[in-house]
Structure 1
Amino acid sequence: MERKVQSKQNSKKRNVKEGSRFIQQKRKELAILVDKVLKLTSIFQATGTTNKNWEHHLQIEELIKEIINIEKPLIKKEQIERKLNIEKYVSWLNENGAQFEGVQITEFDGYEFGLKATKEFTEGSLILTVPCKVMMSENNAKESDLSPYINVDPLLQNMPNITLALFLLYEKSNPDSFWKPYIDILPEKYPTVLYYTSDELAELRPSPTFESSLKLYRSIARQYAYFYIKIHTLGIPVLKNLQDIFTFENYR
């Protein structure tokens, strides 16, 4: 009996070691791909033709696809049904001073969630009051555990929208976060060009939106690569909490 128990324990230890080696190997592969993305997205394309910019985009996209495929099995992703979290979200709003009457969060066909009036409102009526306490802002990020990194990173100091994005990911990694009821009702993806396939993007040609879409994708890919390297190489303790949750899918 003791031999069987010991055998199971040894087998479990081997599995853990093999799993750890697998993750380390995947991290090495990721690091190489991320470095390629950073270099490729750093190429300035101001004088490039539309065709050259498109070819450049396809090269970036190919690397990003490889990154996404590697990151998928490394991340434990819970599928959250947003509608099941609405009640908790509304309670959280009420507990923190939000005031609203005669409206409710409702799912609309083809438009996801929005506010639905449940009574008649006269013109000029106050429909809802939302205190700053439940508005996630750059100040929340600067006052959080991320502040040691925010204070030394030049990109975060000049781009508050990126600061807010990192703060959101940081709070998402914390099951006890004050912001959890809010985070749990956020969409998993958005109908923006960042989620378009190459075929869908190609449909935008020859409109001005096509070039700006390529630029946006390139910018987000570069930001992802930049922060991935920082998160995995800097010796700032708080960044360790972002290492598992910071993926391209989560960042975009």
Structure 2
Amino acid sequence: MMAGPNKKLKVVHVSAEQDDSNDHKLQKFLGWCHDNHFNINKKVRVGRHGSCSEYGMIAVGDLDEAECLFEIPRNVLLNVENSCVADIIQSESHRLESNSGWVTIILALMYEYTNPTSLWRPYLDACPDFNVLDHPMFWT
């Protein structure tokens, strides 16, 4: 993600009472990011405090225009090809065709979400509960 030219960035200072070090879900996710070689800019932090949903990324320092906030290695991006059900989806691809292309990725995501040993378990555990429609996209 990049800070766009028209974005007004707010620097958030984290106080002791806003420390996320006891949030086990967050710490597991951050450990997973580290173990998978995510590159997270030192001028941002991931946490609960200052975000508009359960977790978010907030600036803790001044960001330059177009400064890279994070980089994710391509092999860690969840997609149909690297999902545990890639072979099944590939073998049934003729039955799963759709104009949007969403069917196969939704199947891969559903499988990984329900798989307790998924490579993406720490990320999926940090995602907002799908049963609660309180995400910014649903706000009036």
Tell me which of 112, 134, 137 is aligned to 2:76. 134
Partner of 1:165: 106
Partner of 1:214: none
| Contact 1:171–1:179 (Cα < 8 Å) also in 2 | yes
- In the TM superposition, residue 97 of structure 1 has moved relative to its aligned partner by 1.3
Call closer, same or farther: CA 1:148–1:125 in 2, change over 3 Å. Answer: closer
TM-score, normalised via structure 1 length: 0.37
Partner of 1:215: none
Larger Rg computed on CA atoms: 1
Call closer, same or farther: CA 1:133–1:153 in 2, change over 3 Å. Answer: closer
What is the 5 A alignment of 1:16-55?
none
Partner of 1:148: 88
> Match of 2:96, SS?
helix
- In the TM superposition, residue 179 of structure 1 has moved relative to its aligned partner by 1.0
> Match of 1:184, SS?
helix
C-alpha distance in 1, partners of 2:51/2:35?
Answer: 31
Structure number with the higher helix fraction is 1
Unaligned runs of 5+ in 1: 1-82, 196-252
Q: Does 2:116 align with 1:175?
A: yes
- In the TM superposition, residue 181 of structure 1 has moved relative to its aligned partner by 0.7
Call closer, same or farther: CA 1:118–1:110 in 2, change over 3 Å. Answer: closer
C-alpha distance in 1, partners of 2:85/2:104?
Answer: 13
Unaligned runs of 5+ in 2: 1-22
How many residue pairs end up in the alignment?
A: 109
Call closer, same or farther: CA 1:145–1:110 in 2, change over 3 Å. Answer: closer
- In the TM superposition, residue 160 of structure 1 has moved relative to its aligned partner by 3.1
AA aligned to 1:156 is L
Partner of 2:57: 115
Call closer, same or farther: CA 1:191–1:147 in 2, change over 3 Å. Answer: farther
AA aligned to 1:168 is L
Partner of 1:87: 27
| Contact 1:102–1:119 (Cα < 8 Å) also in 2 | yes
Partner of 1:208: none
- In the TM superposition, residue 151 of structure 1 has moved relative to its aligned partner by 2.5
Superposition CA RMSD, Å: 2.7
